Amino acid sequence: MEIKHIRSFLAVAEELHFSRAAKRVHITQPTLSQHIQILERDLAVQLVNRTSRKVELTPSGEAFLMNARNALAEFEQACANARLAASGHIGSIKVGYSVVASRTVLPGAVSAFQRESPRVHVHLQQLRTGPQLAALEAGELDMAITSGKPSASDLSARWLHPIQVQVVVVPSDRLAGRSVVRFSDLAGRPCILFERAQSPMMYDAIASAAMQAGVDLNVFDLVSDPWHANALVASRSMVAFTTGVERERRQARPPASGPMTYIPLVEPTPLLALHVLWRKSHETPLLGRFINALGAAATAMKKPGGTAAATPPGG
């Protein structure tokens, strides 16, 4: 039994006229008759009574009609779904993201993408850069939006947005009144870094900038929680590192450790950027469409009225 035979039967059942039915399915009348004969032979029942005066369905034909319609509709829906999947308009995608992404490109990208593709399920999971990379490698994520780009050869990357690294101090700190902090100003100051396993790009960028400035960072502690870092800064007058998006987030909701002062870090400025990463071996049209949505959201941020932002501690 073939789909073309079912289409021919439905045309006959609805037209009750072989000539009109043949025109409807764009075949010759002898071919249509052959389709009905093959279908009847496969089912071992007579579906159609045909005389010189009229065409009518047999009781078996009437019984077959409704299910045949449903079967054809399901087949055509399956074909449509396959085409939608091939073009990236149906399915699901697992996206890891850092806090900076949630404060910059991600909301606009998801909103625009879902308007165009409401049948795609976007699974979002907030993670720091290190855990995102591990989940991407394990196949637990389809893409990762991270603060920086690793050198792994099996990953593709697209630059999205710059990230401004800042220092965090309490308002009473001697650095608090400055418009910028030079790396040389941090010489000898106890500071807090985020664990490299959690935030490898930010850790490496700060370490590289310190080396470039000839500063031997006095690392008091390595932490994984930004609130832990804030508490140490507040209680021990230490220095931590953060970014513009985190500053915005904490100003909107002051941390339990009290107000903080955020100052751009220069000479040199640790270089970071928001990237979207994916495995080269797992590129799909759906993945490509979401990456393009992220790129469009990043471009929109550069226009007048767009959100100018950076990122949170640890990325």
The string of pLDDT tens digits covering residues 26-38 is 999 999 999 999 9
CATH, range 3-86: 1.10.10.10
Q: Which residues contact 54 (CB under 8 A, 6 or more apart)?
A: 16
pLDDT at 253: 42
Q: pTM here?
A: 0.69
> What single DSSP character describes residue 92?
E
Q: Does domain 91-160+274-302 have CATH number 3.40.190.10?
A: yes
Q: Three-state SS across 120-185?
A: EEEEEEECCHHHHHHHHHCCCCCEEEEECCCCCCCEEEEEEEEEEEEEEECCCCCCCCCCCEEHHH
Least confident among 144-158, 201-215, 234-248: 234-248
Least confident among 78-82, 219-223, 246-250: 246-250
Rounded percentage of the chain residues whose pLDDT exceeds 70:
91
313 or 98, greater pLDDT: 98
pLDDT interval class at 306 (50, 70, 90): low
pLDDT at 128: 87
Which of 148, 234, 153, 232 lies closest to 196, judged by CA? 148
> Which fold would CATH assign to domain 164-272?
D-Maltodextrin-Binding Protein; domain 2 (3.40.190)
- Listed by start position, the domains of the chain span 3-86, 91-160+274-302, 164-272
pLDDT at 107: 94
User: Average pLDDT over the chain, rounded to whole?
Assistant: 86
pLDDT at 312: 35
pLDDT beyond 80 at 259: no
307 or 8, greater pLDDT: 8
What average pLDDT score do residues 3-11 get?
93
pLDDT at 254: 44
Check if 91-160+274-302 and 164-272 are the same fold: yes
Residue 309: strand, helix, or coil? coil
> What single DSSP character describes residue 44?
T
Residue 38: strand, helix, or coil? helix
pLDDT interval class at 242 (50, 70, 90): confident
